[in-house]
Amino acid sequence: MRSAFLARVHDSSIAVLDALYSEPSVLLPVLVSDPAAYITAVSEAVLAKSSQASRALLRAHLSFLALHFLPEFSQDIVEDAFSHAIFPFLLFSKPKFRTAQAVWEIVEAAQKRVPNSGLAKCESLEGCVEIVKEEERVYSEKATTRKDKSVPSAFSNPEVMRRVNLAVASRMAGEYGSNSEGIAAF
């Protein structure tokens, strides 16, 4: 039964993934008995070359993973899933900034919806959403001051991308202060 569902995780049709993840309360009990199998399947699916072009596929997989699957598990499993399936998409680059932005939105939504487990308790992510939000806020404030309406997203700005990537990487490496003064230092 589980293997039939896991086979569909690799499907490249968004219609199939929408169906697969349409009833989390029904699917979840099938997957929780072997979390490693699902994490491996999702990691392979999101990193597969064929799915790299589709943000919709990535969003479907990572939304279920972050919002429904990971809150059921202990921190070591959350860290494992984070490092294999989520982290590869978190850093901003010019061609991938929309993908990174979408994944940060999923991370933030998961942390808000389930504040006591899952990604909210992921040590590697501690304080990272706040860094991203603060960089976005600072950029937006400056843009408002300049009355600059030409840039649709703070994260399309190369300087913001660089600052966020550096701050997030430093935080994950344990070298970043927990207050907002740290942000100003970059």
Partner 1 sequence: MVVASMDANGEIRAAAVQNMLRTLRESAGLDSESLVSTLSPLPYGP
For residue 59, state whether it binds partner 1 (rule: CB under 8 A): no
What's the gap between Cα 119 and its chain centre? 9
d(CA 4, CA 167): 41
Residues 6+ apart with CB under 8 A from 101: 92, 153, 155
For residue 74, state whether it binds partner 1 (rule: CB under 8 A): no
CB of 7 or CB of 32, closer to partner 1: 7
Residues 6+ apart with CB under 8 A from 106: 59, 62, 63, 66, 67
Could you tell me the smallest distance in angstroms from the CB atom of residue 52 to partner 1?
14
**What is the residue whose two structure tokens read 């997957």?**
31
Stretch that binds partner 1, among 13-21, 59-67, 119-127, 130-138 (CB under 8 A): 13-21
Could you tell me the smallest distance in angstroms from the CB atom of residue 77 to partner 1?
23
For residue 181, state whether it binds partner 1 (rule: CB under 8 A): no
Could you tell me the smallest distance in angstroms from the CB atom of residue 22 to partner 1?
7
CB of 44 or CB of 72, closer to partner 1: 44
Torsion, Cα of 123, 115, 65, 183 (10° steps): -50
For residue 28, state whether it binds partner 1 (rule: CB under 8 A): no
For residue 23, state whether it binds partner 1 (rule: CB under 8 A): yes
For residue 13, state whether it binds partner 1 (rule: CB under 8 A): yes
d(CA 74, CA 113): 17
Q: Are 96 and 54 in contact (CB under 8 A)?
A: no
The contact set with partner 1 (CB under 8 A) reads 1, 4-5, 7-8, 10-16, 18-20, 22-23, 26-27, 30, 50
